[in-house]
Chains A and B, each alone.
Chain A
Amino acid sequence: AQSVTQLDSQVPVFEEAPVELRCNYSSSVSVYLFWYVQYPNQGLQLLLKYLSGSTLVKGINGFEAEFNKSQTSFHLRKPSVHISDTAEYFCAVSSRNQAGTALIFGKGTTLSVSS
């Protein structure tokens, strides 16, 4: 079975500062990794995903994430945040080649960007 740990429940930052949201996963099999964003009272929107290939993945809104297999991590980064990035961010994992499995999510990290 897989599990996802988002190490920070809340991350407050100032506008234009860099940010890193941390995510570690646990799985006995190879995985795919995802980051989703949720704005208040809305559904989840895919930011980026890692399937294979380059370990540095670029997504929408200037976000990127790096897959580190040895550390079982998939941290999300943005070099300069905006007020509009304030939202809940979820890391998720699904198993490769294991039929019948869905996405498993972490508990989320609330990013609060202030001026």
Chain B
Amino acid sequence: NAGVMQNPRHLVRRRGQEARLRCSPMKGHSHVYWYRQLPEEGLKFMVYLQKENIIDESGMPKERFSAEFPKEGPSILRIQQVVRGDSAAYFCASSPGQAYSGNTIYFGEGSWLTVV
């Protein structure tokens, strides 16, 4: 059973460009989470999605960031008009059910975004 797959693993964008990060959850998992990791800051929750629905986006910046998890295909985290401060590692995770039921959340290897 393949784990959570993220691509690209490394992405370089110039300021003002768009970044698209993709995440395919583990087989059978319908819950997807996105986290951002900055040096010295740990992992910050961004958004929690279940197929076609955003459950919690309280950690998502109000502008330039969006996420989706369509019925078919991977989840996408989209960052428009990137700035240097967006440089970070972005981790996707998935679970078979809600975290509040004690389901384990499995993480991908991460996508490292560098904005130059």
Chain B residues within 8 Å of A, Cβ to Cβ: 4, 33, 35, 40-45, 48, 55-56, 91, 93, 98-100, 102, 104-110
Contacts and interface: CB of A to CB of B under 8 A. Distances in A.
A106 B44 CA distance: 9
A46 B106 contact: yes
Interface stretch (A12-20, A37-45, A73-81): A37-45
Contacts of B56: 100-102
B108 A100 contact: no
A106 B42 contact: yes
Contact of A101 (B41, B91, B100, B108): B100
Contacts of A43: 4, 91, 107-110
Contacts of A108: 42-43
Contact of B99 (A36, A44, A103): A103
Contact of B102 (A51, A100, A104): A51
- 3 smallest CB-CB distances across A and B, nearest first, come from A107-B42, A43-B107, A44-B107
A54 interface: no
Interface residues of A, number: 27
Contacts of A105: 35, 42-45
A82 to B, nearest CB: 23
Nearest to B4: A43
A28 interface: no
A115 interface: no
Nearest to A4: B42
Contacts of A45: 107
A41 to B, nearest CB: 8
Contacts of B48: 100-102
A50 to B, nearest CB: 9
